[in-house]
Structure 1
């Protein structure tokens, strides 16, 4: 259940933002009562801290004796995210002139497909 909670929380925070997300929103995604969520995390701040800490599976989920997960110390979650991004970005490198689309540079052009109210609609395609 805890991995599902973390995944649902991450999706809800991304969709609605931290301020607008309520614990009930996460409970609704999971199909459980709000009180069930509080059995796993102390509050919304704890849920926000749990998302980057446990979502990728690098850190194993807490055991039953460690629940509910307390809120992270101030800036602890930000430091964790920065550390993880730093580790991942350190492994990236540019190879030759390759792009995400292949070995040739990406270019775009537009063409008319239909008109709406007398103006042509544009569809972007790779050259």
Structure 2
């Protein structure tokens, strides 16, 4: 039985990586077990690990669900100095999505449910949010 997951990205400079991911996730790490490593629990049981090391180019994407993809895109472009990136949608896909890279080449993405009732249902199932 799988009950938890982690996803790891590597950065060449942990201080810069720590700051970049703190801004991306809009919160401080939940766990720093040792030098060169930080973890964020994104939702219960779902962890992002940022480790100092040699990045794997093209890693991911790690896609994060958001409630307003356009607003989050604006925030990230401003706070992380990201170049403009496109938001995609297709008629048969129930979400809008985008992908961009961190400064180390790790692919990160966002997605937003088009059906807000479905979004609310998923949030309640996953984190008990209303």
Q: Tell me the TM-score normalised to structure 2 length.
A: 0.20
User: What is the TM-score normalised by the length of structure 1?
Assistant: 0.20
Larger strand percent: 2
Structure with bigger gyration radius: 1
More helix by share: 1
